[in-house]
Every structure is written in C-alpha cells, then in structure tokens.
Amino acid sequence: MDMTRIRDRMVEHHVTRRGIRDPSVIEAMRTVPREKFVPPGSEEFAYEDAPLSIGEGQTISQPFIVALMLEKANLDAGDTVLEVGTGSGYASALMSRVARHVYSIERHERLALEAKERFEKLGYRNIDVRVGDGSKGWAEAAPFDAIVVSASAPEVPTALKEQLGLGGRLIIPVGRGEGQRLKRLTRTGDAAFEEEDLGGVLFVPLIGEDAWTATHPMYTATAPSLPGTVASEPSSPHDGQGAGMRKIDKLPALPEGVLDHSEFQQRFWAVQRFSWIVFTLLLVICLLGLLGRGGPFSRQTLLLPEGSVDFPVISRWNAPEDMTVTFTPSSEDRVFTIDPAFLQSFSVQGIDPPQKATFARDGRIGYVFPADPAGPTQIVFRLQTQLPGPRRALIGMGGETRTQSTFIFP
C-alpha cells in the first residue's frame, strides 16, 4: 500500500501547521516511511499524531515531538549526530536523511537489532547502532555536532556535554514529573555552554549511570503496558508531545486529547477502526452515486437566469468528469466564468464546442461563446479532478454567480 499521500497529509497537519519550518526536517518526514517503524498490524495508525507501542514497554514517539526536537537541533548536511534512545529507529532514520552520519544507542538489545535491520532494508547506510547506557553517550564516535535525547534526566549528563563539539547542540528534557523542561545546550567553549529553555514537557526517565538509576521510584514502580511521554503546554510557541525510552511508574493527569497509555490507546484504536468502517461504507455508497447533493445521484444542476450548469458534486481523485453548461437562446455572446478555486479542484482538458474567446477579469477566468437566438446552446467541459477533499468554487453565467461544492474522494 502506497502511503505517500497519507505521509504528506501527516506532515501538513501535524508538522508544518504546528510551526515546524526547517525544510530539511520537513523533507525527511515526507521521505522516511514511518509505517515501516511500527509493529505489524499498526500501520494504519502510523501517521496519527500519537505514540504507538513497539514492545519492551517502549513507544515510537508521535511525529510532532520528533520534528520539534530535530528542528531545535539545527541539523546540517555535514553533521555527526548522536541519538540516545533508538527505540524503533524512526528518529535516527529521519536524522540520517539530513546529517552526514548518525550514531544511535539503545538500552534494549531486541529494539536495537530490529532498528538496525530496518535501516539495512531501507538502505540507510549512514547509521550505526549499539546497545548501551545512553547517559554515557558514545565516546569513541565523539565529538558530535548534535545530540538528541528522548528521555528526561535529573540533570544534563556530564558525558553528553563532554562529547558535544564546539558549537554543538544538545536537546534533552531535564527534571522530574511535571516540572520537566526541554533544554537546548550549545557548546560555546571548552567548559562554556549556552542554555535555552524550550518549554515545559513531560518525558519518562532516562535510565543510566549518569541519569536516573534502576532503584529510582520513577523507574521501579509498576508501569502501564503502553508507557509514553507527553508534553505539557510549553512556554515556547510550540507544544511538544512524545514517547521516551524507559518505564514510568505512574502517569500524571494527561492534557486534553493525549493518548499514551493502554486504556486510551485501545479506545483510540477502536474509534479509528470504527471511523474507517463508516468511511468505507460512505465511500462505497458515494461511488455508487447514491448521495448526490441534488438528489439520488452524484451530480447537481444549478439554475441561473441565463441557463443551467450540470455539475459533479461527488467524484474521486484523478478521475475524468464532465460539466455541462446550457445557455438559453440569445442574440448576444454568452459568457461562462470560473474562479481560481475551480482550477484547484478540476483541470479543464477540453471544451466542446470550443469557446470563441477567453479572458481574465476581477480574479476570474471567462469563456465567451457565440450568440444563438434560435435555441439553447449546450457546452461540455471535459474535466480532470485534482486535489482530494471538500472543495468550493465560484461559477457564473453573465453577471450571476453561484458557489458550488464538490467532494473529491482520495
């Protein structure tokens, strides 16, 4: 199944509309197939803005938080990057499409091996993965131009700061509970760092020698089956949400709309499945022409003082359509007009019989047809549907205009 259009929609709705502007990050998210990084059977949910379970009590972060952290890391084509918390490998895959080389460290061996296998199948050759303590970094590969950490530490681990190159950026959640803050540290000297607060967040703890220990109550208490991290309202213009790499004992009250533990996740999936069933049934009915806005068919006839327009109100993407314009008898030339929104919904492939002239005026395009006082004149516009979704366009005859709606199924 080709998910390119679904992926593009995810980028538009969950990434760019929420303030992500870095073109390299946006292009990477359009390129990397997120559905390859979720467990079998979960592909239909891969492009929802919510974390998904990947086993070992871990999750794949939702798209927005990944995009936010990568944008704040200011990745460049020549960069060497370290990711702490490989998980499914999705974030490392994104970074590999931007940076020169990515080193990724994961505490769980099974996840690390599965991520490595995904990279090999997708041909991402500039990623190295190893199993280890993420709080200690990867000294052999240092210095790094950027380090991205997907779990919260009590303070920034010394090893990670030391492995950051001059001018390098470190993105890491710091603190505990609801007091966590997303930090960006930029190394400005041998022992000098510029620190920026990117807003309030809520991540699960980073487990390691230089972070939370295995005896810390945030780690040792009973964890839900689908743990994740979520972001509270940040003080920056963005609001982040994500999933971390270690277990958490008790999830606090969730912000409205956040889905990141088993009960919410199960309800979310149930609603999604039901929605898809309803959508599929409606699609079948519409394709059979049973839900036209003007009656039992998928077309509508608009009546105007100078004639009528038979217009498609339900169609499918990239399909041929006809629009029939019928002019009443007249001793003067007749004019039919459309606006730019019409040409976003349909491309005009041909006109039969052809127009006498074409003009542009007041933001609209006009087609002039010769007079015929003897009887009605019928003009057929051969169209091709373009953008899917609900569309509205302005069409007119002479001085009268009407707004017409069309729904184009993907």
Q: Quick one: pLDDT at residue 89?
A: 95
Lowest-pLDDT choice from 76-85, 165-174, 259-268: 259-268
Active-site annotation holds for 61: yes
Percent of the chain past pLDDT 70, that is, above it, reads 83
Q: What is the 3-state secondary structure (H, E, C) of the chain?
A: CCCHHHHHHHHHHHHHHHCCCCHHHHHHHHHCCHHHHCCCCCHHHCCCCCCEEEECCEEECCHHHHHHHHHHCCCCCCCEEEEECCCCCHHHHHHHCCCCEEEEEECCHHHHHHHHHHHHHHCCCCEEEEECCHHHCCHHHCCEEEEEECCEECCCCHHHHHCEEEEEEEEEEECCHHHCEEEEEEECCCCCEEEEEEEECECCECECCCCECCCCHHHHCCCCCCCCEECCCCCCCCCCCECCCCCCCCCCCCCCCCCCCHHHHHHHHHHHHHHHHHHHHHHHHHHCCCCCCCCCCCEEEEEECCEEEEEECEEECCCEEEEEEEECCECCCEEEEECHHHHHHEEEEEEECCCCEEEEECCEEEEEECCECCCCEEEEEEEEECCCEEEEEEEEECCEEEEEEEEEEC
258 or 99, which is more confident: 99
Q: Quick one: pLDDT at residue 215?
A: 59
**299-409: CATH class:** mainly beta
Residue ranges matching CATH 2.60.40.10 in the chain: 299-409
Average pLDDT estimate for 11-32: 94
Catalytic residue among 24, 53, 61, 135: 61
pLDDT in tens, 239-282: 333 333 333 333 333 333 333 344 555 666 677 778 888 888 77
Q: Quick one: pLDDT at residue 143?
A: 96
Does the structure show a pLDDT above 50 at 62? yes
Q: Quick one: pLDDT at residue 288?
A: 53
Q: Quick one: pLDDT at residue 159?
A: 95
Residue ranges matching CATH 3.40.50.150 in the chain: 4-259
Does the structure show a pLDDT above 80 at 213? no
Q: Quick one: pLDDT at residue 286?
A: 60
Residue 362 pLDDT grade (very low, low, confident, very high; cuts 50, 70, 90): confident
Task: Quote the mean pLDDT of the chain.
Answer: 82
pLDDT in tens, 175-207: 887 788 999 999 999 999 999 998 887 777 888
Q: pTM (2 decimals)?
A: 0.56
pLDDT in tens, 293-347: 334 567 888 899 999 999 888 888 888 888 999 999 999 999 999 998 898 888 8
345 or 83, which is more confident: 83
Q: Quick one: pLDDT at residue 119?
A: 97
Average pLDDT estimate for 54-83: 91
Q: What is the CATH number of domain 4-259?
A: 3.40.50.150
Average pLDDT estimate for 387-410: 87
Q: Quick one: pLDDT at residue 228?
A: 39
Lowest-pLDDT choice from 27-36, 130-139, 259-268, 312-321: 259-268
Does the structure show a pLDDT above 90 at 113? yes
Average pLDDT estimate for 47-64: 84
Average pLDDT estimate for 223-250: 37
Sign of CA dihedral 68, 69, 70, 71: positive
Q: Quick one: pLDDT at residue 244?
A: 37
Does the structure show a pLDDT above 50 at 219? no
Residue 24 pLDDT grade (very low, low, confident, very high; cuts 50, 70, 90): very high
